[in-house]
């Protein structure tokens, strides 16, 4: 199994709101650091809390979905609105058993500015 499989499985589980699939791709001891750029950020520990937060992010942004991207050269996910605006970037650390151990979610608009800058040749 390649390292990309856990990312694809996570994306599928989130797209389908499949709690069992989501649990199967996350370590029981999963940790997620949320960098919101303010006091609302923090660390979540445990598969249930991480799963709940990921689903809550989707529920708060019904006009957005996760898409596969590269984050610092590694597979990850971006939470992108229909208009293309990126409102979150999720980096992942996968263990040797293809289970996601750590997640880093950046939602700070200042830190996402390079994800949202105009691209050459676009309006």
The CATH number linked to 42 is 3.10.450.50
Q: How many domains does the chain have?
A: 1
Whether 120 is in a domain gets the answer no
pLDDT value at position 119? Answer: 67
> What average pLDDT does range 55-64 have in this prediction?
91
Whether 79 is in a domain gets the answer yes
- Domain hosting residue 73, numbered range: 4-112
Residues 26 and 50: beta-carbon distance below 8 Å: yes
DSSP per-residue string spanning 35-51: E-SSTT-EEEESHHHHH
Whether 121 is in a domain gets the answer no
Say which residues have a Cβ less than 8 Å from residue 20's Cβ, sequence separation at least 6.
none
Whether 36 is in a domain gets the answer yes
Residues 79 and 7: beta-carbon distance below 8 Å: no
pLDDT value at position 121? Answer: 62
Whether 11 is in a domain gets the answer yes
Whether 122 is in a domain gets the answer no
Give pTM, 2 decimals: 0.84
High-pLDDT (> 70) share of the chain, %: 93
> What average pLDDT does range 73-83 have in this prediction?
92
Q: What are residue 71's phi and psi, to 5 degrees?
A: -120, 115
| The token pair that represents 10 in the structure block | 């996570």
Distance from C-alpha of 33 to C-alpha of 25, rounded to nearest angstrom: 17
What are the tens digits of pLDDT across the range 19-49?
Answer: 999 999 999 999 999 998 888 889 999 999 9
Whether 66 is in a domain gets the answer yes
| pLDDT for 2 beyond 60 | no
């Amino acid at each position: 199994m390649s390292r990309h499989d856990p990312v694809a499985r996570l994306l599928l589980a989130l797209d389908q709101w499949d709690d069992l699939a989501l649990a199967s791709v996350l370590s029981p001891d999963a940790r997620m650091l949320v960098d919101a750029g303010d006091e609302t950020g923090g660390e979540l520990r445990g598969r249930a809390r991480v799963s709940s937060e990921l689903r809550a992010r989707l529920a708060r942004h019904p006009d957005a979905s996760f898409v596969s991207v590269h984050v610092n050269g590694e597979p990850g996910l971006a939470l992108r609105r229909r208009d293309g605006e990126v409102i979150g970037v999720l980096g992942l650390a996968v263990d040797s058993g293809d289970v996601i151990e750590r997640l880093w979610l950046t939602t700070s608009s200042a830190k996402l500015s390079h994800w949202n800058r105009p691209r050459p040749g676009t309006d």
